Amino acid sequence: MDSRDRTMASLGVVALLLSAGLGTALAVGGGGGEDGEGEVYADYSMIQTRTLTFNGRNGQVVDVDVREHNVTNLLAVLTWVDDEAISIIGRRDDVLTIAVAGPAQLGQEQQQAQGSAGSLRVNFTLAPVPSDPDPGHLKAHDYTNATGTWKVTVTVEPRGIRDQGNDWGLSVRYSFYTGRVIPKPGGA
């Protein structure tokens, strides 16, 4: 390779490095030119929902593992149909109770509901979705208090003479947001 070829190759490498550096600076918000060019903001509109289902019989404690951060709400729904056979003295519906306790760091009291027919619901309203557009505050809005193991306790009080209890279904649905940094609309 002669000196002219080496010079051209060196200029090509320099041009490649400069374009890569400039592209990176623009992508992370450097430059901040006129008309919002290169500016970014924090966006929290990516809201997702997970649903976990469990089945059981009679009294049980179910561990529900929530691994995501930024949980905005959690809803536990217990459903069942009383399976006591009808006897000559009639039927008495079982009484079911659902009690839900979040991870210790949540700092909220256990909530519960009790009933004898249909379904029971326990709802926790947790972190609100932030509206703060400052990308520097993204970490400050990383809410982890609801992350961990939730305990759902189901109790069944059979009421019939020959009643052996109940089968039940439990659905736990929770929503969470994801914060991200994105270019401002109209930016380059």
pLDDT digits (tens, 9 = 90+) for 108-154: 889 999 998 789 999 999 989 999 999 999 899 999 989 999 999 99
Strand partners for 48: 176
C-alpha to C-alpha distance for 23 and 14, rounded to whole angstroms: 14
Closest CA to 153 of 129, 120, 180: 120
The structure tokens 């947001």 sit at 177
- Please give the average per-residue pLDDT across 53-78, as a whole number: 94
**What region does 70 belong to: left with phi over 0, alpha with psi -120 to 50, or beta?**
left
Check whether 162 has a pLDDT greater than 90.
Answer: no
Q: How far is CA 92 from CA 21, 58, 81, 88, 89, in A?
A: 75, 16, 12, 12, 9
Reported pTM: 0.72
Check whether 166 has a pLDDT greater than 60.
Answer: yes
Instruction: Name the more confident of 14 and 56.
Output: 56
- Please give the average per-residue pLDDT across 12-37, as a whole number: 40
Question: Counting runs of H as helices and runs of E as strands, what totals does the chain give?
Answer: 1, 8
Average pLDDT over the chain, rounded to an integer:
79
Instruction: Name the more confident of 49 and 30.
Output: 49
Check whether 26 has a pLDDT greater than 50.
Answer: no
**What region does 25 belong to: left with phi over 0, alpha with psi -120 to 50, or beta?**
alpha
Check whether 12 has a pLDDT greater than 70.
Answer: no
DSSP class of residue 31? T
Give the DSSP letter string of 37-87.
TT-EEEEEEEEEEEEEEEEEESSEEEEEEE--S-EEEEEEEEEE---PPPB
C-alpha to C-alpha distance for 21 and 120, rounded to whole angstroms: 58
- Please give the average per-residue pLDDT across 23-41, as a whole number: 49
